[in-house]
Structure 1
Amino acid sequence: MPDNAAAADPAPLSVDHGAPLPAPAATRLAVIGAGPVGLTLALFAARLWPEASITVFDARPPSLDVSADPRTLALSLGSIQLLQRLQAWPAAQAQPIVQVHVSQAPPTLTGVPIRPELTIRALDEGVPQLGAVLRYGQVVAPLQQAWMQECEAAPSRCQLRLGTPVAAVKPMAGGAVEVDAGIAEPFDLAVIAEGGVFADQPRKSLARDYRQTAWVGSVELEVSGRPTDDPPGTAYERFTRHGPVALLPLPREAADAPNLRRAALVWCVPSDDDPVAPLDDHQRGVVLSTLLPEGAGRLRALGPLKRFTLGLNAERTLVQGRQVRIGNAAQTLHPVAGQGLNLGLRDAFTLVSGLSGAPSLDAALRRVEWSRAPDRWSMIAATDFLARSFTWQLPGLAALRGLGIAALQAMPPVKSALARQMMFGRR
């Protein structure tokens, strides 16, 4: 599977590293959070703004091995392209997603001769892959290494300050901001990219507890070798009466049998009447087996599960003076569409490109806010609607959802438009 998919996007995001742009009015930039979104922003800024000074702060200790973080991430093709342009895409460690299968578990459409299933294939969209799956540490480690190389090459303008939590960011006279990380320092712009999970976040201006829990872990599946098996690299979204169940394909291991597949699991259920919590591991496996689509294969093993509270936590505006929030610091979403990190990476790219060469920083920030609004709010609205729909006790709602899935499958142009938005965001 080729990993360089930049040419597949008819309107690719482009960064010409050979032609640096003038630095924006902000020449002193503070990036708070050395996760994938913060590091991506810092790298783009360093390479596009050769005269700017950029400092990345993070509370994690310098001795922490970020590559060991086992959390699973799904990146869209657009996100892969961004990381490729930064030469920080670990293609050898990633599992390409070549197909997405969306379906609804029965009972759903009694007496109606249609199948509530939707299949999006990379081949049909003219791209080598729709996205990829890999571990959080596998994404962050090459980004951090690339940023450390920037710091070594230009120590006077690029810094990485690990083990340095930021206590506060406050406005100063003249439009600057003061970053308090033990010693208060002035910057022209502070970008907050430190997100965290919903349960640990202070509530933002738009907050909603879905009263849902995500059980997260990994599974082993055994396929039969029959034509009904889905191809390797298939991701699944299965709507059940309790909530969505997602499987993300993981890379094979050397000792795996040919018919064995591995996948990351996200199993969403109501928090108030959690059907998973009282079960032991064997019982959870039995229940999960009844929820998976036939093409996924037979559940052979279910690993340990961890649970997380789900909710929406979003700022109404990204920009407050000379402070900008991006990624999970701006919007924490339900995982039903797997788009949180992808949205954050687009935040980072748009901010850097939107400020490049801008004579007025404040005017440019307002333009960035407006340019991000369609992509950002359409994704917030879509995930919020889907998440809340599982709490609605309306007769026939499941049937309507199934009809909607079947209708998308029957309308290739609409299905293709949906696939493009999931790959590249709304433009």
Structure 2
Amino acid sequence: MDTPTYDIAISGAGPAGSALALILASKTPHPERIALVGRRIIAAQTAASNQEAEMADPRTLALNHGSRILLEQLNAWPRDSADINVVHVSQRGRLGRALIDHAELGVPRLGSVVAYDALLTSLHHALAGSGVTLIEAAPTMQVVPGQVELNLGDRRIHSVLAVQSDGVRPQGVRREYQQHAVLATMRASRPRQGWAFERFTSQGPLALLPHPEGSDLYGIVWCCSPAQAATLSTMDDPNFEATLHHTFGDRLGRFQSMGKRHVFPLSLHAGPSLINARTIAIGNAAQTLHPVAGQGLNLGLRDAAQLGQALAQWLAKPGTDPSHQLEQFARNRRPDRWLTAGITDFLPRIFSTGNPLVEHACGAALLSLDLLPPLRNTLARQLLQGLRT
């Protein structure tokens, strides 16, 4: 049997996989024995000059305070971001609202919003100087005796362990929400600096996030039925602006459309972290969540941080059996993963039942959150840092 080429091969060069590669590189004297394999790896020498050209992905990401600390420690925090200091939660047409304020939690901010491609550029720029082996390819993998084999199309590589971070759907729990997300960037006539909004409607949640490209800009994530999403995506700008104002209210004044709208279907997919004795799943390969409360990437980054911690001792002695570390990682991550998935699954469904009694109960729950700081702060800390085990 050939000696494995790498200690760890990470399949997927998105944010979670890239962060994991940087974490692992800091824990080994031989970072070149960590391979990051992905379809799109931005070269450091072109990252700065081509940043605007690379900004093709329409998503903005709400990263909580814990995720920001991790990325800053990895020297991978993007140049442009917009802080979230207060989150305003409400329900359209019903009483009850809740405010979550960073000051109550003793943190400098609840989180920050970054552009997806700006984050990816920063991560890949940091990777270029990390010593990690970067391979641009779309791999498939299989376990062979004593190692994992990755087929890169024109060649094959081997590793002791493999991590799947994106590119495949988790196998296990699945739910189709019958909702699509309409993404847009809007300018508000009366912006509120540092405020983010989550407004539940009968068809799904509507989020307005401060935008990293301007203090009066907001990233819109409007979850609704596929039929409504199709209508919203094809409206002319004045009608879309008026419909958004009617749904959201007057808190930010009038809206002006800035650029194109994009539509994505929404579903839940979640499966085990431990795929087999030599393969671990993290990030989107372990769970893809509804975007309510912006928990998907935050959960994936917690996966990466804890996997890096779990493998630190093994990386110092890679010839030993890593099965105990992998099993312990999967066991320790289970409570946080399933609690976060449960929250993001429950909220968009309970607020969109269309049942008036349920809607009034949801309004009462928001009022309770607003009146009872311990209850509110418990939920906020889960969204801020996850369930610690």
Residue aligning to 1:165:
138
Distance of 2:41 and 2:124 partners within structure 1: 13
* TM-score, with structure 1 as normaliser: 0.81
C-alpha deviation, 1:99, in angstroms:
0.9
Residue aligning to 1:270:
225
C-alpha deviation, 1:87, in angstroms:
1.7
C-alpha deviation, 1:42, in angstroms:
0.6
Instruction: Note if 1:178 corresponds to 2:149.
Output: yes
| CA RMSD between the two structures | 2.3
Matches within 5 A, 1:46-195: 46-51=25-30, 53-60=33-40, 67=51, 68-69=54-55, 70=57, 71-90=59-78, 92-106=79-93, 108=94, 115-151=95-131, 158-162=132-136, 164-166=137-139, 168-174=140-146, 176-182=147-153, 183-195=155-167
Distance of 1:277 and 1:249 partners within structure 2: 21
What amino acid does structure 1 have at the position aligned with 2:282? I
Residue aligning to 1:154:
none
Distance of 2:170 and 2:163 partners within structure 1: 19
With over 3 angstroms needed to count, the CA separation of the structure-2 counterparts of 1:373 and 1:262, relative to structure 1, is same
Can you give the 5+ residue segments of structure 1 that lack an aligned partner in the other structure? 1-24, 109-114, 152-157, 196-200, 224-229, 254-259
Matches within 5 A, 1:20-419: 28-51=7-30, 53-60=33-40, 67=51, 68-69=54-55, 70=57, 71-90=59-78, 92-106=79-93, 108=94, 115-151=95-131, 158-162=132-136, 164-166=137-139, 168-174=140-146, 176-182=147-153, 183-195=155-167, 202=169, 204-223=171-190, 231-251=192-212, 253=214, 261-272=216-227, 274=229, 276=232, 279-301=235-257, 303-358=259-314, 360-390=321-351, 392-419=353-380
Distance of 2:119 and 2:276 partners within structure 1: 29
C-alpha deviation, 1:347, in angstroms:
0.4
With over 3 angstroms needed to count, the CA separation of the structure-2 counterparts of 1:61 and 1:45, relative to structure 1, is closer
C-alpha deviation, 1:231, in angstroms:
3.9
C-alpha deviation, 1:273, in angstroms:
5.6
Distance of 1:35 and 1:252 partners within structure 2: 22
With over 3 angstroms needed to count, the CA separation of the structure-2 counterparts of 1:203 and 1:126, relative to structure 1, is closer
With over 3 angstroms needed to count, the CA separation of the structure-2 counterparts of 1:41 and 1:408, relative to structure 1, is same
Contact 1:26 1:361 in 2 (8 A): no
Distance of 1:205 and 1:330 partners within structure 2: 10
Question: How far does the alpha carbon of each residue in 1:46-98 deviate from its partner, in whole angstroms, 9 at most, with x for none?
Answer: 111224610111122767968423421111000001011112213x4111111
Distance of 1:26 and 1:165 partners within structure 2: 18
Contact 2:274 2:326 in 1 (8 A): no
Contact 1:101 1:236 in 2 (8 A): yes
C-alpha deviation, 1:405, in angstroms:
0.8
Question: How far does the alpha carbon of each residue in 1:193-229 deviate from its partner, in whole angstroms, 9 at most, with x for none?
Answer: 124xxxxx65722111111011001111011xxxxxx
C-alpha deviation, 1:293, in angstroms:
4.2
- Identity, in percent, stands at 36
C-alpha deviation, 1:141, in angstroms:
1.2
Greater CA drift, 416-425 or 93-102: 416-425
Distance of 2:6 and 2:135 partners within structure 1: 18
Can you give the 5+ residue segments of structure 2 that lack an aligned partner in the other structure? 315-319
Distance of 2:339 and 2:201 partners within structure 1: 24
With over 3 angstroms needed to count, the CA separation of the structure-2 counterparts of 1:318 and 1:402, relative to structure 1, is farther
Contact 2:272 2:281 in 1 (8 A): no
Contact 1:26 1:189 in 2 (8 A): no
With over 3 angstroms needed to count, the CA separation of the structure-2 counterparts of 1:45 and 1:203, relative to structure 1, is closer
SS at match of 2:232: coil
Contact 2:13 2:37 in 1 (8 A): yes
Distance of 1:102 and 1:49 partners within structure 2: 44
Distance of 1:422 and 1:26 partners within structure 2: 39
Contact 1:281 1:302 in 2 (8 A): no
* TM-score, with structure 2 as normaliser: 0.88
Distance of 1:277 and 1:51 partners within structure 2: 49
Contact 2:182 2:233 in 1 (8 A): no
Distance of 1:185 and 1:211 partners within structure 2: 40
